[in-house]
């Protein structure tokens, strides 16, 4: 009797499976096995700390849900992408084809993200971006299965130019790594600064991940702009801040930046960072209970101070939790999964944010100034700033 019932149940499941286009083992895997989460992040190189902070934040969000996603246990798979764009596709495929992950969380570097984007578009795997701001991911190459929980590259710098003009800096030099993140950050800066009446007298750059700044700092000294604006991040940012001060420029030509300049590097940069003003979608000192609780728990758990990367990793976790709960853990239910993530209101340490139609955060941008080893909020540069999403057509 028992075995007959089992047979009937199984055949009913097979008929059900056939009508949904899934075979029995896949249904069983989709609903009861562990959710396979792939982390593709830099764990070596100039962005290594960023990768660790993102993973910590992500795990913290999941940990707050009892370590489960939509009621299912999780199995993690990790790949160090080394911030190397030439290995982007290969590394994404290690997670998607070899490890068969249900969701790919990654990455930091915009060039590497382009590899992930190709694999995500080709395979349809759910792809959550916890940092990389490359415009194409939520513009011309946007996709229903790709969601960004961080920013687009021009978002943090769009309001920076006005902040500098308000402080009387009419002529600026821009300096950055020459790749998508720096170039697109420049796009945002240029638009805001020139609209506010500023003049960019020179654009300077170095290939990623070079950090030989000396010749460029000599050139800045000779150009004598009213201020310098920049995009650097990670180890390169810490070195730029120190070298800028060591070259004697700190007290002569104020340094401004996309907020990544002063994220996760304040210990390493030391007093050279004091006073730097940046614009960013997060500030350590946001005076909300949500941020206070987050910072306390993160510091207790990881014995580290959180930064914007930790917040983005955390928010990536919150976004996935929202989707997984809506489908009760069945991530193959894509229509409901995506709809829930599109409608998400993420109650983040950075403040509440929502998803734009092209799957990029609509969020506030703060003005911050470094003091006593903290990015202190000193104003709001933009409210509910959305990326244009230009060229995005969801398939």
Each residue 184-223 as x (binds ligand PHB by CB under 6 A) or -, in order, gives ----------------------------------------
| Binding flag, residue 54, ligand PHB (CB under 6 A) | no
Does position 132 bind ligand PHB by CB under 6 A?
Answer: yes
Q: Which residue's CB is nearer to ligand PHB, number 59 or number 109?
A: 109
Nearer to ligand PHB, 110 or 333 (CB): 110
Tokens standing for 353? 């944010």
- From 17-25, 69-77, 105-113, 284-292, span contacting ligand PHB (CB under 6 A): 105-113
Candidate ranges 106-114, 192-200, 210-218, 240-248; the one touching ligand PHB (CB under 6 A): 106-114
Annotate each residue in 235-254 with x if it binds ligand PHB (CB under 6 A) or - if it does not, as one string.
--------------------
CB of 129 to ligand PHB, least distance (A): 9
Nearest approach in angstroms of CB 134 to ligand PHB is 6
Residue in 60, 61, 104, 108 binding ligand PHB, rule: CB under 6 A: 108
318, two tokens: 């919150």
The reply on whether position 262 binds ligand PHB by CB under 6 A is: no
Spatial CA neighbour of 373 closest among 299, 269, 281? 269
By CB under 6 A, tell whether 110 contacts ligand PHB. yes
318 scored as a contact of ligand PHB (CB under 6 A): no
Q: From 8-16, 131-139, 193-201, 323-331, give the range in contact with ligand PHB by CB under 6 A.
A: 131-139
Residue 109 contacts ligand PHB per CB under 6 A? yes
Give me the least distance between CB of 152 and ligand PHB, in Å please: 9
State in angstroms the smallest separation of the CB of 108 from ligand PHB. 5
User: Is residue 181 close enough to count as binding ligand PHB by CB under 6 A?
Assistant: yes
Residue 183 or 226 having the CB closest to ligand PHB: 183
Q: Closer CB to ligand PHB, residue 106 or residue 192?
A: 106
Under the binding rule (CB under 6 A), the answer on residue 266 touching ligand PHB is no
SS (H, E, C) the chain: CHHHHHHHHHHHHHHHHHHHCCCHHHHHHHHCCCEEEEEEECCCCCCHHHHHHHHHHHHHHHHCCCCCECCECEEEEEEECCCCHHHHHHHHHHHHHHCCCCEEECCCCHHHHHHHHHHHHHHCCEEEECCCCCHHHHCCCCCCCEEECCCCCCHHHHCHHHHHHHCCCCEEEEEEECCHHHHHHHHHHHHHHHHCCCEEEEEEEECCCCCCCHHHHHHHHHHCCCEEEEECCHHHHHHHHHHHHHCCCCCCCCEEEEHHHHCCCHHHHHHHHCCCEEEECCCCCCCCHHHHHHHHHHHHHHCCCCCHHHHHHHHHHHHHHHHHHHCCCCCCCHHHHHHHHHCCEEEECCEEEEECCCCCEEEEEEEEEEECCEEEEEEEEEEEECCCCCCCCCC
Q: Which stretch binds ligand PHB (CB under 6 A): 6-14, 67-75, 108-116, 295-303?
A: 108-116
Under a CB-based contact definition with an 8 Å cutoff, are residues 395 and 143 in contact? yes
* 84-122-341-112 Cα dihedral, nearest 10 degrees: 10
Q: How many residues bind ligand PHB (CB under 6 A)?
A: 11
233 near ligand PHB, rule: CB under 6 A: yes
User: Min. distance of Cβ 109 from ligand PHB in angstroms?
Assistant: 4
Residues that bind ligand PHB (CB under 6 A): 108-110, 131-134, 153, 181, 233, 260
């Amino acid at each position: 009797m028992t075995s007959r019932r089992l047979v009937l149940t199984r055949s009913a499941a097979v008929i059900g499976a056939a009508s949904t286009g899934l075979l029995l083992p896949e249904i069983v895997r989709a609903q009861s096995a562990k959710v396979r989460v792939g982390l593709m992040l830099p764990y070596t190189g100039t962005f290594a700390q960023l990768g660790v902070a993102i993973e910590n934040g992500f795990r913290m969000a999941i940990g707050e849900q009892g370590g489960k996603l939509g009621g299912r246990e999780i199995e993690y798979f990790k790949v160090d992408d080394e911030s190397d764009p030439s290995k982007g596709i290969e590394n994404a495929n290690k997670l998607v084809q070899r490890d068969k992950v249900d969701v790919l969380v990654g990455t930091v570097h915009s060039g590497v993200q382009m590899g992930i984007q190709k694999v995500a578009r080709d395979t349809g795997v759910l792809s959550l971006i916890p940092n990389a701001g490359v415009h194409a991911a939520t513009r011309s190459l946007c996709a229903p299965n790709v969601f960004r929980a961080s920013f687009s590259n021009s978002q943090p710098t769009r309001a920076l130019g006005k902040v500098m003009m308000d402080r009387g800096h009419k002529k600026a030099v821009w300096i950055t790594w020459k790749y998508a993140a720096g170039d697109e950050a420049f796009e945002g800066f240029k638009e805001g600064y020139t609209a506010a009446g500023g003049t960019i007298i020179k654009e300077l750059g170095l290939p990623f991940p070079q950090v030989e700044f000396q010749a460029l700092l000599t050139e800045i000294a000779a150009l004598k702009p009213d201020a310098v604006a920049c995009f650097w991040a990670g180890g390169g940012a810490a070195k730029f801040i120190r070298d800028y001060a060591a070259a004697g420029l700190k007290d002569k030509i104020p340094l401004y930046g996309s907020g990544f300049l002063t994220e996760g590097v304040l210990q390493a940069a030391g007093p050279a960072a004091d006073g730097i003003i940046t614009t960013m979608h997060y500030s350590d000192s946001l005076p909300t209970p949500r941020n206070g609780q987050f910072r306390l728990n993160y510091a207790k758990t990881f014995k580290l101070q959180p930064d914007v990367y930790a917040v983005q990793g955390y928010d990536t976790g919150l976004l996935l939790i929202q989707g997984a709960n809506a489908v009760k853990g069945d991530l193959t239910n894509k229509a409901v999964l995506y709809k829930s993530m599109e409608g998400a209101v993420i109650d983040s340490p950075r403040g509440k944010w929502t998803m734009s139609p092209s799957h990029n955060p609509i969020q506030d941008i703060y003005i911050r100034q470094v003091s006593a080893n903290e990015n202190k909020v000193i104003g709001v540069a933009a409210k509910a700033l959305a990326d244009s999403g230009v060229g995005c057509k969801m398939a």
